[in-house]
């Protein structure tokens, strides 16, 4: 059967079409899910890896006073210790810095660079979310990744072009921020398209490890080539996300309908996928023998909702405001933790810029655990708000302990850093994944609207405004002292938890009602048994 002229926005990706021809048969619904999880995981790992270099090179662009060195080797070679930099170019940069960031206002300018990126990222998120629900997600995501790779690499080219104009670095970060805004709404929408609500918190908690894996990858990549010139610390992650964009274009099936399956949350059996009859009912055979989606079941048949309509979905605004302060805390650690570690004595000594970048990755290791634990608990308790608020409250004492006792020894620093990462990244991961997907498929939409990318954009876009504010304030407050920075972070965590109070009360009330109902049913059942025995 020939394809209709008005058929669908997207056919199966070229890579999937090629695999179908080579295998002679299609994948199962479960296989497509695994592929989607893997590709979106890789995609957002690349996004975060490309954001990390600026935090790694801060101490090179804006060096501080000479510090004492450490001769002991702990715990595995020289990974987490200060080493002498023998490369003459690195020595030169470490001592002199890089104009225009090497002056008295260098720290403030670095903060301005961060806020420029995040402000454009935040504003672009609202537009990107609506576009993600209106355009082909695969092509939209591909464009964003390739564009991000180009402008991240161009920032690094400033080193090789010997550029010292502040406006150049500011502009590169602003454009990169706009391209980066395409990522999160798109990948969450794709996952929401393929997975129903059952165990969504756990699945997305594990999947959301890409954030921390990306941070770790970006840190290690940027630090590994720092000795050859800080420009390479941007070019290598830029090349990584560019390559990831090609992978997405070739292999990502953004919609189940585009490969012959209906949406899982519209299907009664979301664990095993639609039945064969359901799958066949959405397929058409084209002249090339490949299955396509029928126009009435295609990804274009559902309308996208507007920003205002999405804001009216219950829970969107409270979680968006909570994420504002949650990301303020998380992104301050993302952008400033390596700098903090290189400027703060640990056990009376200082680590090098490269070692500080490596050491900061352990914060993200704790974040991986936090995302999984938060997702699992929220599924188990059926309480997203309670879980997120509890984690934010526990982040306050953990940050306090890290500030006052993290400098006692390297062991203490690592343990407390991972604990902070667990409590800070746990709610951040939960809200940006499972909560966004839940609200994007809310019952009020009646299944006929696509709001996944739009809702995700509203929540994460609002959160990204906080992510921009945190690093900016840190650039100014760190000049007064790090105690002021940690005070800001603890206040932010407290407000984040308090903003969910109304939803927490609602969840507690629902939990008590369910318990009362279960107790009443069990009591009725136990009372009815003697009556039955009497009748006998």
Same domain, 353 and 254: no
CATH of the domain at 179: 1.20.1250.20
Q: Residue 246: what pLDDT?
A: 96
Give Cα 443 distance to the centre of its chain.
25
Per residue in 284-297, pLDDT tens?
333 333 444 433 33
pLDDT confidence tier of residue 93, bands split at 50, 70 and 90: very low
Per residue in 390-407, pLDDT tens?
999 999 999 999 999 998
Q: Residue 39: what pLDDT?
A: 95
Regarding beta strands 291-293 and 283-285, do their DSSP bridges make them parallel or antiparallel, or are they unpaired? antiparallel
In the DSSP assignment, the letter for residue 431 is I
d(CA 198, CA 431): 16
Q: Residue 514: what pLDDT?
A: 77
Q: Residue 440: what pLDDT?
A: 64
Q: Residue 264: what pLDDT?
A: 57
Give the closest residue to 334 by CA, choosing from 238, 212, 183: 212
What are the residues whose beta carbons fall under 8 Å from the beta carbon of 6, sequence distance 6 or more? 295
DSSP-assigned beta bridge partners for residue 450: 304
- Which of residues 263, 289, 315 is at a domain's end? 263
pLDDT confidence tier of residue 496, bands split at 50, 70 and 90: very high
Q: Residue 445: what pLDDT?
A: 52
| 16 domain-assigned | no
Same domain, 340 and 470: yes
Min mean pLDDT across 233-242, 339-348, 452-461 is at: 452-461
In the DSSP assignment, the letter for residue 167 is H
| 127 domain-assigned | yes
d(CA 424, CA 215): 15
Per residue in 41-83, pLDDT tens?
999 999 999 988 888 888 788 775 444 443 333 333 444 444 4
Same domain, 116 and 231: yes
d(CA 481, CA 5): 65
Which helix H or strand E contains 71, and what residues bound it?
Answer: none
Same domain, 234 and 340: no
**Is the distance from CB of 251 to CB of 181 less than 8 angstroms?**
no
Look-up of token digits 């935040």: 122
How many Cα atoms are found within 13 Å in the side-chain-facing hemisphere of 354?
Answer: 22
d(CA 315, CA 441): 12
pTM score, two decimals? 0.68
Q: Who wins on pLDDT, 530 or 284?
A: 530
Per residue in 142-175, pLDDT tens?
999 999 999 999 999 999 999 999 999 999 999 9
- Which of residues 199, 229, 263 is at a domain's end? 263
Q: What does 238-260 look like in DSSP terms, one character per residue?
A: HHHHHHHHHHHHHH----GGGGT
Q: Residue 531: what pLDDT?
A: 40
Same domain, 222 and 316: no
- Which of residues 202, 237, 263 is at a domain's end? 263
| 413 domain-assigned | yes
pLDDT confidence tier of residue 260, bands split at 50, 70 and 90: confident
Min mean pLDDT across 129-133, 166-170, 385-389 is at: 129-133
d(CA 121, CA 124): 5
pLDDT confidence tier of residue 305, bands split at 50, 70 and 90: low
- Residue 380 scores a pLDDT above 90: no
Domain count, the chain: 2
pLDDT confidence tier of residue 281, bands split at 50, 70 and 90: very low
| 309 domain-assigned | yes
What is the domain range of residue 465? 305-517
| 282 domain-assigned | no
């Amino acid at each position: 059967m020939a394809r209709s002229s008005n058929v669908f926005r997207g056919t199966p990706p070229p890579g999937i079409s090629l695999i179908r021809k080579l295998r002679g048969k299609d994948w199962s619904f479960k296989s497509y899910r695994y592929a989607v999880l893997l590709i979106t995981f890789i995609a957002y790992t690349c996004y975060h890896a490309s954001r990390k270099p600026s935090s790694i090179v801060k101490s090179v662009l804006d060096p501080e006073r000479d510090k004492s060195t450490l001769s002991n080797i702990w715990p595995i070679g020289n990974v987490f210790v200060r080493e002498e930099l023998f490369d003459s170019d690195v020595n030169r940069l470490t001592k002199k810095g890089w104009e225009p960031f090497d002056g008295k206002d260098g720290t403030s300018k670095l903060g301005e660079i961060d806020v420029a990126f995040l402000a454009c990222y935040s504003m672009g998120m609202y537009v990107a979310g609506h576009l993600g629900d209106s355009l082909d997600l695969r092509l939209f995501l591909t464009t964003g990744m390739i564009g991000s790779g180009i402008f991240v690499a161009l920032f690094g080219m400033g080193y090789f072009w010997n550029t010292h104009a502040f406006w150049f670095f500011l502009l590169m970060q602003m454009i990169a921020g706009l391209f980066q805004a395409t990522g999160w709404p798109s990948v969450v929408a794709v996952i929401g398209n393929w997975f129903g609500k059952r165990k969504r918190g756990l699945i997305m908690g594990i999947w959301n490890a890409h954030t921390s894996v990306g941070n770790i990858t970006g840190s290690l990549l940027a630090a590994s080539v720092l000795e050859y010139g800080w420009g390479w610390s941007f070019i290598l992650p830029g090349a990584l996300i560019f390559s990831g964009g090609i992978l997405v274009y070739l292999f990502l099936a953004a919609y189940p309908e585009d490969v012959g399956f209906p949406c899982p949350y519209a299907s009664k059996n979301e664990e095993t996928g639609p039945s064969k009859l359901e799958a066949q009912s959405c397929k058409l055979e084209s002249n090339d023998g490949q299955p396509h989606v029928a126009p009435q079941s295609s990804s274009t048949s559902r309308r996208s909702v507007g920003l205002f309509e999405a804001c009216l979905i219950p829970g969107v605004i409270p979680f968006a405001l909570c994420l504002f302060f949650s990301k303020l805390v998380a992104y301050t650690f993302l952008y400033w933790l390596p700098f903090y570690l290189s400027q703060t004595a640990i056990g009376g000594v200082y680590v090098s810029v490269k070692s500080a970048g490596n050491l900061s990755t352990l914060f993200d290791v704790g974040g991986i655990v936090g995302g999984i634990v938060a997702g699992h608990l929220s599924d188990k308790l059926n309480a997203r708000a309670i879980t997120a608020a509890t984690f934010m409250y526990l982040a306050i004492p953990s940050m306090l302990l890290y500030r006052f006792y993290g400098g006692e020894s390297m062991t203490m620093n690592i343990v407390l850093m991972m604990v902070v990462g667990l409590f800070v990244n746990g709610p951040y991961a939960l809200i940006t994944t499972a909560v966004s997907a839940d609200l994007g498929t809310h019952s009020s939409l009646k299944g006929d609207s696509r709001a996944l990318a739009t809702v995700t954009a509203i929540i994460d876009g609002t959160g990204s405004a906080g992510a921009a504010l945190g690093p900016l304030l840190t650039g100014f407050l760190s000049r007064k002292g790090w105690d002021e920075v940690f005070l800001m972070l603890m206040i932010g965590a407290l407000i984040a938890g308090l903003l969910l109070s109304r939803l927490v009360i609602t969840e507690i009330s629902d939990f008590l009602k369910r318990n009362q109902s279960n107790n009443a049913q069990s009591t009725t059942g136990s009372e009815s048994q003697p009556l039955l025995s009497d009748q006998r």
